[in-house]
Amino acid sequence: MSGIRKTFGPVVALDGVDFTVANREIHGLLGGNGAGKTTLMNVLYGLYAPDAGTVEVDGSPVTITSPKDAITAGIGMVHQNFLQVDVFTVTENIVLGTDSTKLVAPDGSTQTPAQRIAELSSRFGLTVDPGARVADLPVGVRQRVEILKALYRGAKVLVLDEPTTNLTPQEVDDLFSSMRAIVDDGMSVVLITHKIRETMEVCDRMTVMRDGRWIATVDKADTTADDLAATMIGEIAGGDAEAAALAQTAQVSLGEEELGEASLDTSSEAEPEGAAADTVTPTPARVTVRGLTVAGKGGKPLVDDVTLSLRPGEILGIAGVAGNGQGELAEALTGTRSATGSLSVDGAELVGRPTAAWLGSGVVYVPEDRQRDGILPGAGITENLVLGSHRTRAKAGMINWRAARTEAVAAIKEFSVKTPSAATPCGQLSGGNIQRVILARAFAHNPKLLLLHNPTRGLDLRSTQFVYDRVRRAASQGCVVIVISEDLDEVLALSDRVTVAYSGRLVGEFARGEANPYDLGRLMTGVGA
Amino acid sequence: MSEFLTLTITAMVPFLFVAQGTMLSGRAGIFNVAQEGLMLLGAAVGYVVSLKAGGNVVGLVAAALAGALVGFILSWATTSLRLDQFVVGLALFFLAGGTASLLYRVVIGNDEPPRIAPLPDLVFGQDALVFVAVALSLFLWWWLYRTDAGMRLRSVGENPKAADSLGINVTRTRLWAGTVGAALMAVGGAYLPMVFSGVYADGIVAGRGWLAIALAFFGGWRPQFILAGSAFFAAMEVLAQRAQVSGIGVPHQFVSMLPYVATLVVMVFAFRWALVPQFLGKNYDRESRIVG
C-alpha cells in the first residue's frame, strides 16, 4: 500500500501512508488509539474508499472498492468487533457468501464445506464446534471462527485487529501459536495492536503509526521495547517532565510489563496515605459493600453476592472478560440499577435510595459507553457539566447559566478539553475529549467513591495518561476508586488490590505486586487459582 | 362448519401474501409499513386492469408490478439515499392509497361499478391463489433456511456489516427483497375485489394491511409460523362477520374487535420469543464510524 490518504469530513485519518507486508511474516502494525491503524486496514479490506493511494498484491496493482474485491485479492480481516451473524451457526457464519460447490483440497480432490472447516481447524489449531450458535460462544472461540472465515476464503494476508482484547493470557498464547502456524504455511499476518509487548513477542517486523502517518518500519531484531515506545510517543512539546510522564503511561498502557512495574512504584510514592496505611494501623473502611446482588432472568443473578470493604485512597481493580456482569456491577455499585444487599459510604446506607442520594453522598460513575451513558450528545459542554448538580445549582427552579458557563470555561481549561467553545455539542468531540468532560463533571461532585468502567478504551495516549493521573490524584486525596476494566495491564498498573469478575461474582483477591497475569487469566475463565 | 372452514381459507389468502411479503422485506432489513396502501393500490389496479383488459391474471400481474414499483422506491430511498425507513414507508402508504382512489375515480367515476368475474375454483371449491399462497409460504420456508441465497438474505437483515465484509451486496439484496415483498403485498390486495366483492371500494382493505405487520411479528418473521398465524387471523375475521350477520347476542362491534385484541395480547407475549431481525428498519452505512 502506498500513499494512502483518507479523510472523514475535516478530519484527516490517514495522510500518505506506505505499508508493505512481506510473504511469510507476522507484521505488527503498532500505534496508539487514533493513530489510523484500523482505518488503514479498512481501506485495504475495501470497507473505506481511500481519497488517494494505491494497493498492490504480489507485485500487481489491484483496485479494491468492496470487501468482495479484497477477498478475491486474497485479503482476510478479523475485525475487533466480530462481524458475525449471532443467530447463525459456526458453519453458517464461515460459509456465508461463498460458493460451496467448488472447494478443492490441498491434494486436489473436492471438499465439502464441513471437510474444509475440519481440515483448517486441525491444521492451524483452531478448535470450534461447527454446529454451535455463535451467540452462545465465548469470545476466544468466536475469534477462531473469524480467523477460519478468512482462511476458508483462501486468504493469503490475514489482518487481525486488536485480537487480544478480551482474551485471557492463555488464549493469547494459543492465538499466537495459531498465527505462527498460519505464517509457516506460507501466508502473512498483520497484527494491529497498541501493545508493544505483543509485537515483541510474536512479530517479525513492525510498522509504527502515529496521527495518521507512517513513522517507521523496523525488524524485531533491530529494536527494543524502549525504542518502540519512544517512536510511538514521538516528540513532546511540553518538555522533559511531560515526556517522562507520557512515556511512563505509554509503557503501562502498551503492556510493557517490567516498565509498568516501575511506574507502579512511582505512583505509590505519590500516595503517602496509602503507603502509611500498610505500615501503621489500618484506616477504617470508607465504602462497605455487603451481599450486593442484582437479580437476573431465570434465577441466575447478574451480580451475585458482592462484598467489599475499601479504605480511603484505595484503588480496587476488577479484571475480567467482558460480559461477566461488569456493567451490571458498575451500575449496582453506583445506584443506577436497583439491587439488594447493602452499600454504605462513610456509614450512610445507600441501597434502595434514589440516585440523587447516591450522588449527594459522593458516589460518581464514569460509564463504559461514554456516548450512550455518559453525555447528552446534542447538548453543549456547559449543559453536560451542569447535569447532576442541576438540583443544588438551581435557585427557585432557575439555573444561573452565566455562572455555569464561567465554570465550564474553567473546567475546559483545567481538563484540557479540545473544543471550539463551551457551547459545542458533546457528541461532536472526540472520545478522549468526551471522557475529559465526564471526568470534569465527576470531580465537580467531590467524589468519595469514584467508579470507572473501561475508562481508557479507545482513548489516545495523552488522554489515557490524563485519566491515570486524575485517578491517582483522586485516590491520594482520599477518594475510593474502583476501576473495572477488561484491559488486564491497566488493572494491574493502577490498582492497590485486584480481583476478577466471573459470572457475576468477584473471585480471587491479590494485593499489588502479587498478581500474576496467568493466575488472573485462570480466574477470568472460571478455573480456580 | 365446512362453510366456516372454506371462508377462513379464503380470508387467509390476503393475510398470507401481505405478511409473507412483509417477512421477506424484513428479513433483509427493510421494514415496510405501507402494507395498507399497497393493498389498496393492488386492489384498484387489479380491479381496473381485470375489467379493462379482460382477465384476472392480467390484473394480478399488473397489481404485482405496481406494488413492485412502490417497493423499489422504498428500498432505493432507504439504501442508496439512506432515508428513514419509517418516514418513507408512511409517505408511501399515503401515496399508494391515494393513487388507488384516484385511479378508480378516473376510470370508473361515479358510475355504478361493474363487477369483475371472480377467480374460478380450482379444486375443493378453492381458487388457484389459495394454493399459490400456501405453496409460496412453504417455498419461502425452504428457500430461507435451506438455500445459500436464503442464508445471504437473512444475514443482511441480521448483520449487514458482517454480510458486507463477506462480499455480499447489501444494497442489491435489500433492493430486490423490498421490491418482491411489496409486489406480494399488492397481490394480496388485488385478491380482495377478485374474490370477495367483485368491485373496488376505498374501504376494501379495512385494516388488513396493518394487521399483516402484527402477523409478521406474531409469526416471529418465519414463514411457517406466519402460515399458521394467518389462519388464526382469518378465523377471527370470519367469526366477526358471522357475529355481525347472525347476531349471537354479543354486539358485533365486540367480535369485530377480537382480531385486534388478540393481536395486542399476542404481541405482548410474542415479543418474548419473537426473533426479530436485528437490523429490521435500520439502514446500513459502510463508512459510518460508530466503531472507531
The alpha carbon of residue B213 is apart from the nearest alpha carbon of chain A, in Å, by: 22
The lowest-confidence range among A167-176, A202-211, A238-247, B169-178 is: A238-247
Query: Which one of A47, A85, A153 has the shortest CB-CB distance to B155?
Result: A85
Q: Do B292 and A38 touch (CB under 8 A)?
A: yes
Q: Is residue B247 domain-resident?
A: yes
Query: Could you state, in chain order, the average pLDDT of each consecutive group of 10 residues for chain B (292 residues)?
Result: 85 95 95 96 95 90 97 94 93 96 90 82 81 95 93 93 90 96 97 90 90 88 92 86 72 73 74 75 73 32
User: Residue A271's pLDDT is what?
Assistant: 42
* A274 band by pLDDT with thresholds 50, 70 and 90: very low
Mutate to test the interface with B, among A83, A372, A429 (most CBs of B within 10 A): A83
Query: Which one of A8, A97, A458 has the shortest CB-CB distance to B166?
Result: A97
* A244 band by pLDDT with thresholds 50, 70 and 90: low
Query: Which one of A8, A48, A67 has the shortest CB-CB distance to B166?
Result: A67
Give yes or no for residue A423 having a pLDDT over 60.
yes
User: Residue A281's pLDDT is what?
Assistant: 58
Q: Do A79 and B291 touch (CB under 8 A)?
A: yes
Q: What's the pLDDT tens digit per position in B53-106?
A: 878 899 999 999 999 999 999 999 999 898 999 999 999 999 999 999 999 999
Q: Is residue B145 domain-resident?
A: yes
Higher pLDDT, A84 or A227: A84
Q: Do A86 and B289 touch (CB under 8 A)?
A: no
Query: Which one of B151, B167, B287 has the shortest CB-CB distance to A71?
Result: B167
Mutate to test the interface with A, among B27, B145, B156, B165 (most CBs of A within 10 A): B165
Which grid coordinates are listed for A303?
451480580
Q: A292-296 long-range contacts, Cβ below 8 Å, gap at least 24?
A: A292/A329, A292/A332, A292/A333, A292/A339, A292/A340, A292/A341, A292/A342, A292/A343, A292/A351, A293/A339, A293/A340, A293/A341, A294/A325, A294/A328, A294/A329, A294/A332, A294/A337, A294/A338, A294/A339, A294/A340, A294/A504, A295/A340, A296/A504
Rounded to the nearest angstrom, the gap between the alpha carbon of residue A398 and the centroid of all alpha carbons in its chain is 40
Q: Do B161 and A66 touch (CB under 8 A)?
A: no
Residue of A nearest to B286 (CA): A47
The secondary structure of B195-229 as a DSSP string is IIISS--TTSSTTHHHHHHHHHHHTTT-HHHHHHH
Q: Is residue B274 domain-resident?
A: no
Query: Which one of B151, B164, B291 has the shortest CB-CB distance to A81?
Result: B291
The lowest-confidence range among A335-344, A477-486, A511-520 is: A511-520
Q: Do B165 and A83 touch (CB under 8 A)?
A: yes
Q: What is the mean pLDDT of chain A?
A: 84
CA gap B203, B193 in Å, rounded:
11
The alpha carbon of residue A308 is apart from the nearest alpha carbon of chain B, in Å, by: 35
Q: Is residue B288 domain-resident?
A: no
What percentage of chain A reaches a pLDDT higher than 90?
35
User: Residue A518's pLDDT is what?
Assistant: 85
Mutate to test the interface with A, among B154, B164, B166, B290 (most CBs of A within 10 A): B166
Q: Is residue B190 domain-resident?
A: yes
Residue of A nearest to B161 (CA): A83
Q: What's the pLDDT tens digit per position in A181-206?
A: 999 999 999 999 888 888 888 999 99
Query: Which one of A79, A97, A458 has the shortest CB-CB distance to B168?
Result: A97
CA gap B226, A110 in Å, rounded:
39
* A266 band by pLDDT with thresholds 50, 70 and 90: very low
* Overall number of domains in chain B: 1
pTM above 0.80, yes or no: no
Q: Is A477 helix (H, G, I), strand (E, B) or coil?
A: coil
A92 touches chain B (CB under 8 A): yes
A68 touches chain B (CB under 8 A): yes
CATH number at B60 reads: 1.10.3470.10
User: Residue A254's pLDDT is what?
Assistant: 55
Please list every residue in chain B whose beta carbon sits closer than 8 Å to the beta carbon of residue A48.
Answer: 286-287
Decide if the complex's ipTM is over 0.95: no
Q: Is residue B202 domain-resident?
A: yes
Contact (Cβ atoms closer than 8 angstroms) between residue B17 and residue B63: no
Q: What's the pLDDT tens digit per position in A118-127?
A: 999 999 989 8
Q: Which domains does chain A have, with CATH numbers?
A: 2-219 (3.40.50.300), 284-362+446-524 (3.40.50.300)
Q: Is B50 helix (H, G, I), strand (E, B) or coil?
A: helix
Q: What's the pLDDT tens digit per position in A132-168?
A: 999 888 888 899 999 999 999 889 999 999 898 878 8
C-alpha angle A159/A163/A164, rounded to 5°?
150
For range A421-438, the mean pLDDT: 87
Q: Is residue B277 domain-resident?
A: no
The secondary structure of A38-93 as a DSSP string is HHHHHHHTTSS--SEEEEEETTEEE---SHHHHHHTTEEEE-SS----TTSBHHHH
Which residue range(s) make up the domain with B103? 2-269
Q: Is residue B234 domain-resident?
A: yes
* A269 band by pLDDT with thresholds 50, 70 and 90: very low
The alpha carbon of residue B165 is apart from the nearest alpha carbon of chain A, in Å, by: 5
